[in-house]
Structure 1
Amino acid sequence: MTKVIAMIPARYAATRFPAKLMKMLGDKPVITRTYEAALNSDLFNEVYVITDSDIIYKEITDRGGKAIMSLTEHESGTDRIAEAARDLDADVIVNVQGDEPFIQKEPLEKLVRLFDNTKVQVASLMRKMDDVNDANNPNMVKVVTNKNQKALYFSRSIIPYRRDADIAVDYFLHIGVYAFRNEALQAFTALPQAPLEQIEKLEQLRFLYNGIDIYIAETNYKNIAIDTPEDLEKAMKLIGKI
């Protein structure tokens, strides 16, 4: 039986919103709500927070949760969870973003189900954009796929480019929730940064550049990330605490 675990990388420092994961969202910090949302999905054998912070570690473990201290500095959250997963008994690792306290079961389940196909080594999510103007926003990463649910490319630029104005086109937003077979996750950390990755500042391009397929599931899930104080205020309103 495939053992699936969720890992939530959680850095205390954040450039745009310092200590955002420990900001209170109602009666609990953001990271605790994210942890509980993953746990309550009932999709995972285990859920861990992976952190470089004693404060976050204590917050999770004091509430009876599971946390692992990250031993070294890392370039990305993917590298952080790879270190923690190296010695764990796990077949598939789902990387849940620590700043998404409203993560839902539906998109996570679609992601996990992709691994019923034994060929799948890496998987992620996409959502059709409601506003075509968003396709021009470089902060909104686009993805195009082939007929077999494999990503062809990810870009901050508009893809595909509509050369003929008479042809209808759908644009898909990449949702940055990933899942990996453990061996693929460990292989990722051993690969050097790819030229395309450095150009676009998108680490998932390291897989494609090295010929590793990323399978994509489509969802309607609209993720709410806490990146700024304004995001936190909106999230507070969402849970009815303001």
Structure 2
Amino acid sequence: MIPARYAASRFPGKLMQDLNGKTVILRTYEAARNTGLFQEVYVVTDSMTIYSEITENGGKAIMSKKEHECGSDRIAEAVEDMDVDIVVNVQGDEPMIDTDSLEKVLSVFRGKDADKIDLASLKAPLIHKKDIENPNNVKVITNKDDFALYFSRSPIPYPREENSGVTWFKHIGIYAFRKQALMDFYRLPMLKLEATEKIECIRYLEYGKNIKMVETTVKGVGIDTPEDLEEARKILSGSKE
């Protein structure tokens, strides 16, 4: 499932921007479908413009019936009556999907901690200070078993001392949910931490759900700003500038 809202606050209409001959949302849809990992791939949207973009190019899309605050709510409405076990959320602004990373996320539901996992997601190391401090990069900290402790737009952990040996991790916006966890999320109200950070996965933590984090070295390019779009264009065109 690819939640796709037209009116993004930081970059309105970004999903319909041209990305080397195709729109951002169409490239994301095709990348998800081309992984071969899913029985079905859908774009779930509040926009007839996005809906038409997908369906007119041979894809599958679902129009939301209600207004939603976040992508998880949008997906939950769409899958409520579907007979599914695991639902994967691929962000509409992440067109450079890495198949190996997706396979890693799905594999945890067959691993030793499977019975404890409500959802799984990805994290990638952050090296540069400007990336660690960038509030558009959501950071995550985990326990020794790689279950998420907290997500923040601030640098976590705070570097009280230099050269502490800590690695900072960026949260990559790809999730695999157990359907029940997703439906629970849908029916539970937003609390203060999620409302403050504007990070939807905090709601799962606030209500005691377990999020298994899987490390990847593939950061992808999340398109939050016009500058991100230019970077994605360069990557797709093979430019190293």
Letter paired with 1:79: D
Aligned twin of 1:29: 23
Aligned twin of 1:227: 224
Aligned twin of 1:44: 38
Aligned-pair distance for 1:166?
6.0
Number of residues of Structure 1 aligned to a counterpart in Structure 2: 236
The 2-side partners of 1:230 and 1:135 are apart by 17
Structure 1, 35-44 or 98-107: larger mean CA deviation:
98-107
The 2-side partners of 1:157 and 1:30 are apart by 27
Aligned twin of 1:79: 73
Instruction: After TM superposition, list the pairs within 5 Å mapping 1:1-242 onto structure 2.
Output: 7-116=1-110, 117-165=114-162, 167-240=164-237
The TM-score, its normalising length taken from structure 2, stands at 0.90
SS at 2:145's partner residue? Answer: coil
Is the 2:25–2:95 Cα contact (8 Å) retained in structure 1?
yes
Cα deviation, 1:153-212, whole Å, max 9, x if unaligned, reads 112232223445463211111112212111110000111212222232222111111111
SS at 1:57's partner residue? Answer: helix
Is the 1:95–1:179 Cα contact (8 Å) retained in structure 2?
yes
Structure 1, 55-64 or 83-92: larger mean CA deviation:
55-64
Aligned-pair distance for 1:235?
2.2
Q: Which runs of 5 or more residues in structure 2 are unaligned? A: none
The 2-side partners of 1:25 and 1:34 are apart by 10
Is the 2:116–2:210 Cα contact (8 Å) retained in structure 1?
no
CA 1:50–1:136: 2 relative to 1, 3 Å: same
The 2-side partners of 1:12 and 1:198 are apart by 21
The 2-side partners of 1:166 and 1:24 are apart by 42
Cα deviation, 1:133-164, whole Å, max 9, x if unaligned, reads 53333332221111212011112232223445
Letter paired with 2:121: S
Aligned-pair distance for 1:31?
0.9
The 1-side partners of 2:23 and 2:159 are apart by 44
Letter paired with 1:169: V
Task: Give the fraction of aligned pairs with identical amino acids, expressed as a percent.
Answer: 56
Cα deviation, 1:97-146, whole Å, max 9, x if unaligned, reads 11111111122111111121233111111111112453333332221111
Q: Which runs of 5 or more residues in structure 1 are unaligned? A: 1-6
CA 1:233–1:200: 2 relative to 1, 3 Å: closer
SS at 1:172's partner residue? Answer: strand
Is the 1:123–1:180 Cα contact (8 Å) retained in structure 2?
yes
The 2-side partners of 1:26 and 1:164 are apart by 44
SS at 1:225's partner residue? Answer: coil
SS at 2:229's partner residue? Answer: helix
* Coordinate RMSD, CA, aligned: 1.9
Aligned-pair distance for 1:65?
1.2
Structure 1, 43-52 or 60-69: larger mean CA deviation:
60-69
Aligned twin of 1:4: none
CA 1:230–1:115: 2 relative to 1, 3 Å: same
